[in-house]
Amino acid sequence: MSDDLIGQLKTMLIEGLRLEDIVPDDLAPDAALFGEGLGLDSIDALEIGVMLDRQFGVKITSGDERNHQIFSSLHSLAEFVANNRTR
């Protein structure tokens, strides 16, 4: 997994979720995306899933038992995208 992919995901999250007052450097790769971390919620998770499908061809289903791990941090999300992307 490359730093370039993490950078792309940072930009995608900030722009796609319209995270005001946040710049890419504010997003630490190992910080939590939900709860105490960035504070995203389940609606954000759905939006991220749609963005990942559009940009990388990655499919994430709501019933996937790995979702908690996939969405635990930017690093884990990037790892999942790197291993499953079709574009």
CA distances from 16 to 12, 45, 49 (A): 5, 11, 11
Residues with Cβ within 8 Å of 73's Cβ and at least 6 positions away in sequence, in order, are: 29, 30, 31, 32, 33, 37
Mean pLDDT, the chain, integer: 92
Which among 65, 55, 60, 74 is positioned nearest to 16, based on CA atoms?
55
Domains of the chain: 3-84 (1.10.1200.10)
Interval 8-43: pLDDT, tens = 999 999 999 999 889 999 999 999 999 888 889 989
Indicate the pTM of the whole model: 0.89
